Structure 1
């Protein structure tokens, strides 16, 4: 057994409890629910690492990040002296994903050395994801204040986000947060708040080049297409030029040699898009997973059950016909298409970064079904007769 005792877990447990209560109360204004949310989030973390953790639901990458982070911690490497230790950092990270090694370093400094420390940080990141995601839905998809609160709760306890953030030491939750930040920056950009958008986007894009390098490229390409199809007038042309510059800058930063290598890799691992699309959207099959992925059984089953709602939500966003809704759909299409044709990256792990988009589609579809059901009930003949009798 690799479980940790209560003294080791006390600081992250108290931090998760306090932060969850504070953030949930800020978003919902319900002290009772905030306390319940804090207890649930904390209990899941404490029970898993205090009782059940035995290394079953871990992968080679997890331990590589852990070992690399511990080595950097011993050498006292941090952001303040990063430049002086670049060779060591790139050596520990093998030239890639170096930011997540530093993420592990700071997690150890906050909560102590152990597999649980970066996972605790990932749990805290879900609070930021839920907060930013709910506010974005209110601004761009017409959520009322009450629906925003409900969507915050939906994100906070979304099965897939909950499973990945609470179990394994992976960079996927951090990448998911980066997606939500960039989606927020796109909203600000389209609304003409370019300065605020750049403040959010620049450090996020820079960090993604050392986490998942192609994300900024796909984001800028999707935004470029969305604005290009809607271009008209000086304002739109200005936005188009800005996004084109961002896209070009991403290409320059990556380098044409690296980009050509990536294209060659996609061609080498190319699969039939029809097959790849189905596999990417529906993997894993519930209760038919490998042992290491068994923690996804429940979330996978719910993912399958919510597919009709996601389809309904997709249709709703398509019908909004705003520039942001178009950019959102192009963004989603770009990532889904890439993974549909790239066979090596069709596992559930690479879908985590899109969990905000899936959650939004699922929630909107579920909301529309509920609202339509209520509307039909109010307009039914039986309901009408009851209203006549009451009058």
Structure 2
């Protein structure tokens, strides 16, 4: 019988890796909550038309990469390939604009695209993202960029760079599209196959081609910054000035167009020099027309998404996340001692301490070895004598200092124990 394995392009997140994911989620949640962003959770699948209308039928995501299926009601459904369209659908459906002011939302969860799997890129992948809905102010653009930078910096990432561009409004893009097609058409036969297909369908995406020959051709292509109207130019200049005011460094990249049709004005990516080819860890931009395009009122908005898989790879490489270790490792041997150790473990956990209870029933020697490998700060030991006397041996692993305590005394000194843990961590 053939072995059942995870589907290609998906992977199990095993316990030794989950700590990185939880660390990222905790940091992001804390920073976004401090900026008064609220979490929203939308369905994993939506009507296919949401993504066709929102992302754009001419994009690679809709044309090649979506997981689409018919359900029993003969409706075309799609596993979400990105998070923004679902958030916008929810914003419209539940009339979140009625509360007035700007809506600040964030999300996390799996997305799905049929791509060639590689390190940091899976067919089921995960993102943390935010959406700021209801402001066209350049300060909104810079706020979301600053929050992304804060998250990545707090996680300990160093070699980061911010690429910045403006794709203007619809009129600007149309003028630029015409100029780009005019420039590229004489080179059509020299472009890679995907770029030839995109020439009339989605020419701006040619600028993002990884084909070397196509990149060489695009080096002399007209810049979209030359086609920005007065309002678009003013908006982009204000964004740059505010970034300068915050001391956030950036590089202008006129070839940065992002892969989705709904982007307008500011587009940006944050990349890590420590990730190799798959360098982008965060990407986003403004999408002022998307909500009205999907049936809502005119609502200027901006957002970004951070790719979790790539970020976890980076943290593992840099070893910036501490391994989860117990405060106490309980070693017990004998029926009565094991029962008392179990009760102690639960009471210490309820007091907010991280406690590992050895359930192996092994000899003391093997349990001590596991306690040492766990990295525990202290070891609580119960044998027949301790069980009889309602005591424990408390051993601090770093100094090997060991004292005998009544179990009741141990439980009554939780605050003192926490202070001692802090001292022994140093």
TM-score (norm 1): 0.28
Between structures 1 and 2, the one with greater strand share: 2
Between structures 1 and 2, the one with greater helix share: 1
TM-score (norm 2): 0.26
**Which structure is larger by alpha-carbon Rg, 1 or 2?**
2
